[in-house]
Structures are given as C-alpha cells and as structure tokens.
Amino acid sequence: MFRHSRPHSHVHIVRWHASRAVRRVTFGGLLVLLGIGSLLRSQGLLTQDQLWLLLPGAIALSGVVRLVGRPSAAGVVGALIRLGIAAYGVVVIEHIGGWTLAATWPVLLIAVGAGMVAQALLGQRWHEEPNW
C-alpha cells in the first residue's frame, strides 16, 4: 500500500543535514565578515561606504559554500548565480561603468528569477528518487 515503510528515507536525512551544515557555514561566515568589517571601521581603516562591500562578499561566500557543500548541477547553478549577483553588487556599489542600482535593478530581478527557475528544474531532475 505505502511505498516507503519509514517516513523519511536515508537520502532525505543526509540532504537535510548537508543543507543545515551549508546554512551554518554561510551564516557563521557572514558573522565573521560583519565582525571584521565593524572592527576595521571602528579602527578607521574602513569607511562607511566601503562597509557596503561586505554585502557582495557575503553573497559570494554563500555561493562558494553552496558550490562546495552541494556538488550537484543545481548546486553549481545556484553558486554561479550567487557569484554573479555578488559581482553585480560590487559593480553597482562602486558605480563601475556608470551602473547604479537605481538604473539597473531589473538585471538583479532577472538574475534571481532565472536562478530560481534553473535550480527548480535541475533540482527536480537530479534529486528525484527512483521509482522502484
């Protein structure tokens, strides 16, 4: 009658623990970045404007952690999207090429939306359980 005798298969439990580890490393790294940034600012080595560069650094960190923690097609796509968003953040914060967030925010929406669609499609295909 039921396909599985247990409510959660071993594969789901392993994925859940890996996902929790990825979140912890990402959040811990974010706290370290914020602490270093605040310390450098209080010492006069970093200005308030430069402190904003921690945001793309945190996004890039989450992409690298995702790439290492989830070596799958969906994980790679997610990591690349996050690294692209981090690069975009540096460009708009530093106004490289005259780009500002006010002028280019639709680019951010497109990147995030495309990443979510790609992850959903790749994650569905690569993480399905066999029908045995």
> What is the reported pLDDT for 130?
44
Residue 3 belongs to a domain: no
What's 80-127 look like in SS3? HHHHHHHHHHHHHHHCHHHCCHHHHHHHHHHHHHHHHHHHHHHHHHHH
- Its domain, for residue 106, covers 10-127
Residue 99 belongs to a domain: yes
The phi and psi torsions of 71 (rounded to 5 degrees) equal: -75, 70
Q: In a structure prediction context, what are the per-residue pLDDT tens digits for the chain, which is 132 residues long?
A: 445 445 555 444 445 455 777 778 878 888 888 888 889 889 988 888 788 888 898 889 888 888 887 777 777 887 888 898 899 999 998 889 988 888 888 988 888 888 788 777 876 544 444 444
> What is the reported pLDDT for 112?
80
Residue 72 belongs to a domain: yes
Residue 104 belongs to a domain: yes
Domain count, the chain: 1
Residue 5 belongs to a domain: no
Residue 22 belongs to a domain: yes
> What is the reported pLDDT for 132?
43
Distance, in Å, from the CA atom of 83 to the CA atom of 111, rounded to the nearest integer, reads 11
Amino acid residing at 109:
L
Q: What is the DSSP letter of 47?
A: -
Distance, in Å, from the CA atom of 22 to the CA atom of 131, rounded to the nearest integer, reads 29
Distances (CA, A) of 4 to 9, 122, 132: 8, 24, 11
Residue 16 belongs to a domain: yes
Residue 2 belongs to a domain: no
